[in-house]
Amino acid sequence: MIVRNSEFGIQSWALMMLVMLVVASSAFAGKKATLGSFDGFVERMGAGTRELGRGNTGSADTASMPAAYWNPAILGFREHLSYNLNAEKRDLDRLGGSLGLEGPVGRRMGIGFAMLYRGDLNFDVINEDDETMGTATPYFTMMYLGLAYRATRRDAFGLSFSMSYDNMDISEYYEGVAEVVDDYRSPVTINLSWIRQWNEKWSTSVVIRNLSFSENLSARWSKNTSTDNSVESTEGVRPKVLQIGVGYRSKIAGMPVHAWMEALDYQVADTLLAFDPDLHVWTGRVGFECEVITDGTLRLGMDDLDWTVGAGYKFMIRIGKKKYPFDVNYALIYETEAGIWTPLSFGLRGYIP
C-alpha cells in the first residue's frame, strides 16, 4: 500500500507517540488478566515476531501473520499462499513459537491454519513435602483454523476455531501412587472478527475471542488429573475477550511510518455478559514502526507494561524466472514487573507468488 501525503509533521507524530505511550502505561498499570494459567502464554508470548516488536499488535493490520490467530478476517485479503515461522527463548528456560499457513480460496475468501507452542525446560517437580522429585518438560500447543469472507473491497469478516493440547510430563513421578494423566485437550472454542481498511491511512478491527458452545458461551472445562480420581480435578477456563484495534499509516520525511493501538477487555466470569467492573480486566497495546531504509524497518511498542523493540528486513530470492519475497524479523522484550529481558525472538515470513 502506498501512502501519498501526510497530514502530520514530525512534531505532531512525536507528540502522538508520547501521548499514546503515557496513556497505555498509566491506564493499564496494575491490570493483569487471569489468562487460564498454563495456556495463558497465548496472550503473554507473541504469536508473530514482527507484531511482537511493535507491542504485540496485529489485529488491525491486513499483513499480520498468522492471521488465523490475530484476526481471521485478515484472511479475506490474502492473494497468495503465505507462510510464517516464529521462535523465541525466554528466561526461566522457556521456549515459544508459532507456525502459520494461509492463502486465498476463490476471489473473496481465505483460509488459514496456525499453531502456537510453549515449552518449559528443566521444570522442577516438587511434592507436598517441598522435596524436588526431578525435572519435567511440560509443553502446550494451541491450534487455530480460520476462515474469512471479504464482503466488500475494504471489509472482511472472519471465523476461527481453536483447540489446545497440553502435556505436563509428570506422570512418571507418581507411578505406584496415583494414575496421573499427563495430557489434556480443551473443547473447541470460537473466535469472531471484522476488519475494515477505510482508506490508505486508517484501518480498524474488532475481535471476539474464546466463545464456546456452552449455555453461557464460556470456554470452561474440567481437567481430570487422574483416571482413578486419586488427585483432585481442576477446571480450565478462558475469559471472553473483546479486542478493538486501530491502525494509522503516514510518512515522516518521506519514510513510511505506521502506528497501531489495541484495547482489550477480559471478562473473567462464567456468564454470558457481566456488567460488574470487578469481573473485567482492561489492558492495552501500542506500537510504531518506521521503514528507515528501503526494505528495512525499526519498531517500538508497549504491551501492557512490557516494552518491546524490533527490526525487520525484506529479502528477495530468484529461483529460475520466479522471485520469492520473504521477511526476517527480530524482537526484544523487557518485562517490566519481572525485570526480565528476552533478547531471542526471531521470525521468518513470506509468500509464494
Kindly list the domain boundaries of the chain, sorted by start residue: 10-294
Distance between CA atoms of residues 302 and 52, nearest Å: 9
Burial class (CB in 10 A: 0-12, 13-18, 19+), 9: exposed
Distance between CA atoms of residues 141 and 121, nearest Å: 15
* 314 backbone φψ class: left, alpha, beta (φ>0; ψ -120 to 50): beta
Tens-digit pLDDT profile for residues 12-34: 444 444 444 434 443 333 434 34
The whole-angstrom distance between residue 188's C-alpha and the CA centroid of its chain comes to 18
pTM for the complete prediction? 0.85
Please answer whether residues 84 and 108 qualify as being in contact, where contact means their C-beta atoms are separated by less than 8 angstroms.
Answer: no
Burial class (CB in 10 A: 0-12, 13-18, 19+), 8: middle
Distance between CA atoms of residues 32 and 71, nearest Å: 22
Element at 14 (helix H, strand E): helix 10-27
Least confident of 3-17, 177-191, 335-349: 3-17
Average pLDDT over residues 197-221: 91
Cell of 137: 518438560
Least confident of 103-107, 176-180, 202-206: 176-180
Tens-digit pLDDT profile for residues 272-323: 898 998 889 899 999 999 999 999 999 999 998 899 999 999 999 998 888 9
